Amino acid sequence: MRILGIDPALGVTGYGLIEVSGPVFRLLEAGIIETKTQECLPVRLEKIYTAVESILNEFRPEAAVLEKIYSHYAHPATSYVLGHARGVICLACAMAGVTQAEYAATRIKKAIVGKGLASKQQVQKMVMDLLGMKETPAYMDITDALALAIGHSFICRSKI
């Protein structure tokens, strides 16, 4: 099964595509979609949409997994901006006919590391170990996206 994990953001969206066959995970593609703050919102959103659409068309994943929006009450604008990025990502997935799932960060951490309050570094190490990665990705957003994909496979298996 091919699973695309996406860590959405307006500035740097991380993505990671894995293939799962039984207990074996294989990294197919991972990277970032970056937009510039000086670009207007519609241009930034179009860039995210087009990049996700391209990834979906090239790799044809069976599922796409996004992190649920979490924003601190003191920073409501963060969730508003994040909602725009998530919206175009969800639209691209829907247009491609890809099943979508979303999980809270704590749920993914629990699935990957065994505890919901694990650090980003603990999650990153486990993701790298599971995928046999030798080099640490330049962006934590990539590891977060891969964790979403791996976590989804674990969560789906536990429901069987």
Long-range contacts of 35-44 (CB under 8 A, 24+ apart): 35/10, 35/11, 37/11, 41/10, 41/84, 44/10
Task: Reply yes or no on whether 129 is catalytic.
Answer: no
Which member of 46, 58, 67, 144 is catalytic?
Answer: 67
The answer to whether 30 touches 142, Cβ cutoff 8 Å, is: yes
- Active-site residue identified among 39, 135, 141, 144: 141
Half-sphere exposure of residue 153, counting CA atoms within 13 Å on the CB side?
25
Distance CA 107, CA 131 (A): 20
Q: Is 67 a catalytic residue?
A: yes
The residue to which tokens 């996004």 are assigned: 66
Q: Which residues are catalytic?
A: 7, 67, 141
